Chain A
Amino acid sequence: MSGYFNEMYDGKSVRSPYARLSDWMASMPADRRLEKQAEAEALFRRIGITFAVYGEGGDPDRLIPFDMFPRVFTGSEWAKLERGIKQRARALNAFLVDVYGRAEIVRAGRIPANLVFQNEAYERAVCGFVPPKGVYSHIVGVDIVRTGPTDFHVLEDNCRTPSGVSYMLESREMMMRMFPELFRENRIEPVDRYPEVLRRTLASVAPAKCDREPTVVILTPGHFNSAYYEHSFLADLMGVELVEGADLFVEGGFVWMRTTEGPKRVDVIYRRIDDAFIDPLCFRPDSMLGVPGLMDVYRSGGVTICSAPGAGVADDKAIYTYVPEMVRFYLGEEPIIPNVQTWKCAEADDLGHVLANLKDLVVKEVHGSGGYGMLVGPKSTKAQIEEFRELIKADPSNYIAQPTLALSTTPTFVEEGIAPRHVDLRPYCLVGERVELVPGGLTRVALREGSLVVNSSQGGGVKDTWVLAE
């Protein structure tokens, strides 16, 4: 693992944010570690923090692996990250309002028109509509990787409905329950106000027609969805109803939910379903998940949908390369956290470079997610590379490529004891009347030795993420 930045060490010495953890690690006997690991697992299962996998047989309730070794940021590291993340969230929202309005950034020639308007995620149904407070993406999940002591890069943006925040909250809960002494010895910024900030953020974008304390709901595809636990967890912590499409109906220009006391008006919908399924009258007619007529109410200002339909055009991997340009164009600032260098296979020069260097690059589908549909050059066989080469040649504009990043590692509990494993970071930036970020995020860790893929579907786990108070 040499050649990778291990966040715990500076040469042979332990970096200051990890000083206490170093003692903690050294003083933990192996049997106590196993005992604690089993305790954590039992707690997760008991509370029901699982993601459901149906149709594969076996236990439908899977646990996401939880690593007890925390990942730590100093206050000043975080301060810079926070500025960078908020900057990015502002720029992405400004971009969305712009491309559904006059599209100045396209007129100015800073982003190619076809990338925006021919994008599958570009939603014609909301052209000319400005959502309340001009916010399209209310929860921006910015995936960040670290490659050195001061080197951070944005790997991708998630503007639709980034998931995983329940793991951020539950991992912290678990650590505080199991190792209270760590929290006494270290001054760690709390994250547990996230649900309250989220509720406030959602309430702050209530539609124009709402003249009272807004009623907020979470719209879930239902209990077979793999993230159902997170949906019900957030609804519970925010004190709002968790609804399915069939619980809602449209009448008289408003959206109502069916309650035991009769219909109750709904003002803000935090939806955890894709655009295509929101409203069968507007989008996919075969969808059973949505609410017929919802889009009409939305466009007439009777209800706010978070994230706004159409927000997906900003987090497309082809658009990603232009986000630094958005920061300059809308905010007049330089990006605080840079992108990862990216080659667009749609462009002839870039394509040539990519095809010539496949064995060193990571190639991704523009619309892919979850670690599927990608090639990690250095970890692939010749045959796999050749197979991918043909795929790229057949449809170059469907692919982008990036250098294989030297993702930082943090100490992680593994079978043999403690070993470095690669990590990334997903903070959740909330955008409403204000732009807010709780100090922390979801650290995902690639548990397989040498693996750079942190997705839970590919053997990834989670860690508690600490930001130290200064």
Chain B
Amino acid sequence: MLSRTADNLYWIARYMERAETAARLLEVGARIALLPSAQGYRNDWDSLLHASGGATGYAEKYGPAEQKNIESWLFFDRDNPNSVASCITAARENGRIVRTALTSQVWDALNTAFQELRALEARRGACELSKLTDWTMKQTAMARGAIDATLLRNDGYNFLNIGYYLERGDSTARLMDVKYYVLLPQVDFVGSGLDNDQWSMLLRGMGAQRAFHWAYGGDVTALKIAHFLILNRQCPRALITCVAGMENHLGRLSKYYGKETPAQAAVQKLLAELESQTPEAIFDEGLHEFLIRFVGQSAALGAVIRDSYLSGDM
């Protein structure tokens, strides 16, 4: 397969997952803003911008954090490369380039998302935030479902999945960090009722609240949630699940091509590190510090994958 084709497939997955992250950030932000807090809602939205990685771009365009502007920035704004609109457009354009490497169902899902997005853009003032986030999750689920149900299990399928897992792990870490960023200045609150409310919001934002209760039962505690979202392989968005997913698909690639690359070694190292972690050790290190470190490791892994398969400079 052409390196560029693999690269396009990988980015289709990353952009679709990133669109979902933007929508989830919006949902978490909207819910946190409804809670009483010491600083009022503004600071919470601010933290959300930081987590999305777009705080600087936003500040340049809009100035201070305002809920309406942030909604627009994260959903519609083409100046924000991580907005839902930018991501869906980019995923669809990548899909158009490798149209023949996709089944018609997958193309249909990407193309439909794009066509509906254009319709939403035409009446952007009239859309409720919850409708927009629901719509986004539905589109990303359709694309994901079409990929799983119809695509040939060849190297291209592996590249798509690697893209999905890499982006999702990164997104879980960022979403968790939003929550932590909010509370960081107030260590007193850790373990308090408010703290747990906000953790629950986070679970809801990830669509994982019920799953969490099934898996753990009892009170919601920060330790349990950290375990669930970082170390529990049952949780589809947990960091370890995402890294294990990449390890699986990189392993399949090395079998498929009959050749190991530095990417396999790198993902195995990261997986081994997570497997040896405990929630207590993570809190000892500091959750924020741990998460930021993970985001860095994930980016480094992405670079190794690019050099090993996607850049064509081997």
The residues of A with any CB-CB pair to B shorter than 8 Å are: 46-48, 223, 228-229, 232-233, 235-236, 241-244, 246-247, 257-263
Contact = CB atoms under 8 A, between A and B. Distances in A.
- Which among A233, A244, A261, A262 has the highest number of chain B CB atoms within 10 Å? A261
Given A258-B312, A260-B257, A261-B259, A242 B3 contact: no
B108 interface: yes
B165 interface: no
Nearest to A235: B100
A307 to B, nearest CB: 23
Contacts of B108: 46
Contact of A48 (B96, B155, B259): B96
A247 B312 contact: yes
Contacts of B257: 260-261
Contact of A258 (B2, B253, B259): B2
Nearest to A261: B257
A236 B107 CA distance: 15
Given A46-B108, A48-B107, A223-B93, A257 B100 contact: no
Nearest to A229: B99
A259 B3 contact: yes
A241 B2 contact: yes
Contacts of B136: none
B4 A258 contact: yes
B188 interface: no
B111 interface: yes
Contacts of A223: 93, 96-97
Given A223-B93, A260-B1, 19 more contacts: A46-B104, A48-B107, A228-B96, A233-B100, A235-B100, A236-B100, A243-B2, A258-B2, A258-B312, A259-B1, A259-B2, A259-B3, A260-B3, A260-B155, A260-B159, A260-B309, A261-B259, A262-B314, A263-B314
B96 A260 contact: no
B6 interface: yes
Given A223-B93, A258-B312, A247 B107 contact: no
A247 B100 contact: no
A260 B155 CA distance: 9
B60 interface: no
Nearest to A256: B312
B313 interface: yes
Interface in B1-32: 1-6
A247 B96 contact: no
Contacts of B313: 258
A436 to B, nearest CB: 24
Nearest to A262: B314
Contacts of B310: 260
B312 A47 contact: no
A246 B111 CA distance: 26
Given A258-B313, A262-B314, A47 B4 contact: no
Interface string B292-314: 00000000000000000111111
Given A259-B1, A259-B2, A260-B309, A47 B96 contact: no
- Which among B1, B2, B155, B259 has the highest number of chain A CB atoms within 10 Å? B2
Contacts of B100: 232-233, 235-236, 242
Interface residues of B, number: 26
A257 B5 CA distance: 12
A87 B286 CA distance: 80
A259 B259 CA distance: 13
B259 A47 contact: no
Contacts of B314: 258, 262-263
A232 to B, nearest CB: 5
A247 B97 CA distance: 14
Contacts of A241: 2, 5
A258 B111 contact: no
29 contacts: A46-B104, A46-B111, A48-B96, A48-B99, A48-B111, A223-B96, A232-B99, A232-B100, A235-B100, A236-B100, A243-B4, A246-B4, A247-B3, A247-B4, A247-B312, A258-B4, A258-B312, A258-B313, A258-B314, A259-B1, A259-B2, A260-B2, A260-B3, A260-B6, A260-B309, A260-B310, A261-B1, A262-B314, A263-B314
Contacts of B155: 260
Contact of B2 (A46, A229, A236, A257): A257
B97 A259 contact: no
A233 B6 CA distance: 18
Contacts of A48: 96, 99, 107, 111
Interface in B228-284: 253, 257, 259
A376 to B, nearest CB: 36
A244 to B, nearest CB: 7
A260 B310 CA distance: 6
Contacts of B96: 48, 223, 228
A47 B103 CA distance: 10
A228 B99 CA distance: 10
A259 B99 contact: no
B111 to A, nearest CB: 7
A371 to B, nearest CB: 27
B77 to A, nearest CB: 19
A259 B312 contact: yes
Interface in B145-169: 155, 159
Contacts of B99: 48, 229, 232
Contacts of A246: 4
Contact of B3 (A228, A232, A235, A258): A258
A174 to B, nearest CB: 15
A233 B96 CA distance: 12
B313 to A, nearest CB: 7
A47 B1 CA distance: 23
